Structure 1
């Protein structure tokens, strides 16, 4: 890994969002992931935590209490302020911060915000320019609106575990990552930015709703609505290529490889490479693009039979030579020494004043004029309470 030259003395002052202040009342993964991205772009993100801290502080492994790995990797470029919002004087401190802010984000249900005396109407009265963004399970106004929501539940609600069974899994399974949280977090980022742009035109903030269920549903049904796109229906739901049982990394003589013959040029090169250049002419299942899609699982099965005849290294060389899309199947450990990430400075060594040296991924977006960066590592609980509150009296 390279030494980190991205830490700045003046945090984020050259980023695209320099000067934008975000009050972050979120916890766990969804909201913190979104606000970390805003911080990567240079926003001043003030993370409001209860005295017990964000619950993800306590998910190990960790070197010191309250600094779990998921928390560290979702809360860089933020300042931590501890406020007990059930205490009137500390609620007033939050409202004072809102007067100085451009955005407030939260990920509890609106009714809970109202119980804290922090409804949109209250916040809007304090600062009419404030963009208030709530990310929670389900849109307001439906039968699910008051239901609690977590990543696993939302994955189930949009059919992802069922889709796993349709594509070969022996039982329903969740994707092994916080998929719903992070997809919704990305929606939260662009929703906040859209509202900020609107405020430049109108001078007034607004409330923005970013529901997990509806966000992930857009993500899934963009592929799988299929025949139900039309009324009346043209056919079943479910995109055949993505559901093919044989759509998976191909076994080779000594491992697995990820290859995709997507267009006619790819297929012609591959079939010639494996010695069956006339397959599409001799097998009616594959004669046209439409027939190949209809029989895509069988076609992937044919590819799999040929892939077993060579080693992974041989396939990497041969497929690359013929300009056929291919990648090795990585294990997590492989990514630590990946040559592309090394060449592009994808890994950073980030010094933390209490945790020691941290391994961090560089923000993936690069901007030539307003750079992204790791301006400060994830904060300890309440590390910046005195600093931030003292700014109110300046």
Structure 2
């Protein structure tokens, strides 16, 4: 079965998780991705946790499906070699900032003799007052407002975990590359540069809250606390999220919990009234939910078409029957990993192998 990007070669000279996720997605669509790694290897190769052979588990996931070659961008003659390699590759993924390109004596517009699609994935973009500054997930989360939206008001703002910024940005970058490749084919080979800032990506992801701030002059407040109207609450074996936005959700959920008086009282039929008077019932509902296991409560509520869900922990996801039935998981050299986050009927997203170890003798042109 043909892959969507079969025949497209991608050179990845990035050192960030955002760049790695971008090229991983392109590889899954069938592109031939060649990572040009520094002598120490891609930074993700050294990220914990490690498997029994000492290989990085996150690195194996982010770098899967790609070929690898050692390439020191700062070595004598590296700029000329990169130019030569780019003539064979219509797409280049980079995390270099503008001053770093200049230090190499190169301009991105020279790649592929000016006909390459060059995607720049950096913390703050190629222009602007922060363009030359280093950044990471923590600083991007702080500057984008993500941290200000998450957590409880009495506690410090939260930070993302597990490369959330990188995966959001890398996904956006991959989609943009596909658009630029289509344009390149349509125009007969015209390349272009794509400037994607992690900061821009995360501000865009929070657009509804940004708009609220712009038009009301007030920031979206963080929660004062958690009850059944604002977030997951404790149950016997974990936490559970219950939606009570509609009258029948409320009525059926209260009946399941044995709170018949709340179910039948007409005062609670409207959402605005429930929200305004939540202190009158939130404690009772939470106490009733503590008597249930999350699996049993979900089964009872799902049978009544109440929107609800148990909070699954990371280790519980691998045995979740819904994900298994959808074929979400994939095997890479005997290791089970998350698979494609989408399904294409004709050109499915695949990952043919785990990344090969960094090999100094490998020819990046091969």
Q: TM-score range by the shorter chain?
A: 0.7 to 0.9
Query: Does 1:245 find its partner at 2:233?
Result: no
Give secondary structure in 2 for the equivalent of 1:143: coil
Does the 8 A contact of 2:97 with 2:126 survive in 1? no
C-alpha distance in 1 between matches for 2:10 and 2:69:
13
Taking structure 1 as reference, are residues 169 and 84 closer, same or farther at Cα in structure 2, changes over 3 Å only?
A: same
Query: Does 1:114 find its partner at 2:102?
Result: yes
Query: Does 1:196 find its partner at 2:181?
Result: yes
Does the 8 A contact of 1:226 with 1:237 survive in 2? no
Q: Deviation of residue 49 (structure 1)?
A: 0.6
Query: Does 1:183 find its partner at 2:165?
Result: no
Give secondary structure in 1 for the equivalent of 2:19: helix
Aligned partner of 2:137 among 151, 174, 187: 151
Partner residue of 2:286?
A: 304
Query: Does 1:28 find its partner at 2:16?
Result: yes
Taking structure 1 as reference, are residues 36 and 337 closer, same or farther at Cα in structure 2, changes over 3 Å only?
A: same
Does the 8 A contact of 1:79 with 1:384 survive in 2? no
Does the 8 A contact of 1:350 with 1:377 survive in 2? yes
Taking structure 1 as reference, are residues 16 and 384 closer, same or farther at Cα in structure 2, changes over 3 Å only?
A: farther
Query: Does 1:70 find its partner at 2:58?
Result: yes
Partner residue of 2:316?
A: 334
Deviations 1:323-342 (A, max 9, x none): 11222222222123222233
Q: Counterparts of 1:248-267 in structure 2 under 5 Å? A: 248-267=231-250
Stretches of structure 1 lacking an aligned partner (at least 5 in a row): 1-12, 352-356
Does the 8 A contact of 2:72 with 2:78 survive in 1? yes
Q: Deviation of residue 31 (structure 1)?
A: 0.7
Query: Does 1:138 find its partner at 2:120?
Result: no
Taking structure 1 as reference, are residues 311 and 337 closer, same or farther at Cα in structure 2, changes over 3 Å only?
A: closer
Query: Does 1:348 find its partner at 2:334?
Result: no
State which drifts further: 292-301 or 302-311: 292-301
Give secondary structure in 2 for the equivalent of 1:217: helix
Backbone CA RMSD of aligned residues: 2.8
Give secondary structure in 2 for the equivalent of 1:22: strand
C-alpha distance in 2 between matches for 1:364 and 1:17:
17
Aligned partner of 2:74 among 68, 75, 86: 86
Q: Deviation of residue 288 (structure 1)?
A: 4.9
Deviations 1:83-140 (A, max 9, x none): 12223434322212210111101112121022113312322xx433210110111134
Taking structure 1 as reference, are residues 254 and 333 closer, same or farther at Cα in structure 2, changes over 3 Å only?
A: closer
Aligned partner of 2:192 among 197, 203, 206: 206
Q: Deviation of residue 44 (structure 1)?
A: 0.5
C-alpha distance in 2 between matches for 1:341 and 1:219:
25
Partner residue of 2:159?
A: 174
State which drifts further: 336-345 or 366-375: 336-345
Partner residue of 1:367?
A: 344
Does the 8 A contact of 2:109 with 2:193 survive in 1? no
Aligned residues: 359
Q: Deviation of residue 229 (structure 1)?
A: 4.3
Higher RCO (C-alpha under 8 Å, 6+ residues apart): 1
Aligned partner of 1:378 among 351, 355, 358: 355
Give secondary structure in 2 for the equivalent of 1:261: coil
Deviations 1:144-202 (A, max 9, x none): 2221111111111123333334x356223312222211111111111111212222333
Q: Deviation of residue 81 (structure 1)?
A: 1.2
Does the 8 A contact of 1:224 with 1:239 survive in 2? no
Deviations 1:190-244 (A, max 9, x none): 1111212222333311111000111101112x232354343xx3x522178x786
Does the 8 A contact of 2:301 with 2:307 survive in 1? yes
